[in-house]
């Protein structure tokens, strides 16, 4: 079966590695124009967006994107009656490859956009993970970017799954916002 051409991850985290607060909400303190532009450009460049049921990106072109929405409310794969570009997907019942084939993009490029468990599921498959860090924001008891956080830092988790730290790019110098793209140098067969 064909495999996705490329799998990317996108997240912005607080200093303590959280993507949302204790109530499961992404607070305004994690929202930066420069990061949102980077994220939006990235999603415009892939064939399929993959996310859990609470992590829609809500951008102007979102309605055009093919997407897989993870949920345990379906056994394997089911149509989303509200969006002909989307499928509900339960990885316990069908593989990513099966879901992409049904979406009509068997070898498409994929952006994984959260939340915690969904980011964690793909740790051994990312070609690149774009990790933005919001300075001076802490979200105690929040939702971590990966299940192992905060026991380990997001960077330790990425490195332990074979990703190499890329160059730090400053997205907004005035706000101290920076992003690092972690890349896999070799891919298993």
Q: Cβ closer to ligand NAP: 91 or 106?
A: 91
Binding mask 79-118 for ligand NAP (x = CB under 6 A): -----------xx---------------------xxxxxx
In the block, residue with structure tokens 């949920």:
71
Residue 131 interacting with ligand NAP (CB under 6 A): no
C-alpha distance from residue 116 to each of 9, 18, 83, 102, 165 (Å): 12, 9, 24, 25, 21
Q: Report the residue number, 113 or 163, with the smaller CB distance to ligand NAP.
A: 113
The distance of closest approach from Cβ of residue 42 to ligand NAP in the complex, given in angstroms and rounded to an integer, is 12
Count how many residues are written for the chain.
Answer: 189
Minimum gap (Å) between residue 162 Cβ and ligand NAP: 21
**CB 158 → ligand NAP: shortest distance, Å?**
14
- The CA-based angle 168-11-115, given to 5 degrees, is 160
Asked if residue 124 binds ligand NAP (CB under 6 A), the reply is: no
Longest dimension (CA), the chain: 47
Per-residue CA distances from 80 to 5, 83, 154, 176 (Å)? 24, 5, 32, 40
Alpha-carbon distance of 64 to 18, in angstroms, equals 29
- Find the binder of ligand NAP among 51, 65, 66, 161 (CB under 6 A): 51
Of 1-9, 41-49, 69-77, 166-174, which part binds ligand NAP (CB under 6 A)? Answer: 69-77
Q: CA 151 → CA 29, 47, 146, 178, distances in Å?
A: 23, 34, 10, 23
Task: Report the C-alpha gap between 97 and 155 in whole angstroms.
Answer: 28
Q: Which of 4, 8, 9, 12 binds ligand NAP (CB under 6 A)?
A: 12
Does 71 help bind ligand NAP (rule: CB under 6 A)?
Answer: yes
List of residues contacting ligand NAP (CB under 6 A):
11-12, 19-20, 24-26, 30, 51-55, 70-73, 90-91, 113-118, 121, 143
């Amino acid at each position: 079966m064909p495999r996705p051409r490329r799998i990317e991850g996108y997240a912005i985290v607080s200093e303590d590695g959280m993507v949302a607060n204790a109530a499961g909400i992404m607070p305004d303190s994690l929202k930066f124009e420069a990061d949102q532009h980077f994220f939006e450009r990235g999603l415009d460049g892939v064939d399929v967006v993959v996310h859990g049921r609470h992590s829609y990106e809500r951008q102007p072109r979102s309605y055009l994107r093919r997407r897989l929405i993870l949920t345990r409310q379906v056994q394997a794969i089911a149509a989303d009656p509200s969006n002909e570009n989307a499928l509900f997907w339960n990885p316990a019942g069908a593989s990513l490859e099966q879901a992409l084939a049904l979406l009509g993009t068997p070898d498409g490029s994929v952006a994984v956009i959260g939340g915690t468990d969904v980011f964690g599921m793909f740790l051994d498959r990312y070609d690149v993970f774009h990790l933005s860090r919001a300075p001076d924001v802490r979200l105690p008891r929040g939702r971590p970017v990966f299940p192992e956080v905060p026991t380990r830092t997001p960077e330790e988790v990425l490195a332990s799954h074979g990703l190499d730290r890329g160059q730090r790019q400053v997205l907004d110098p005035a706000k101290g916002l920076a992003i690092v793209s972690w890349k896999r140098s070799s891919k298993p067969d």
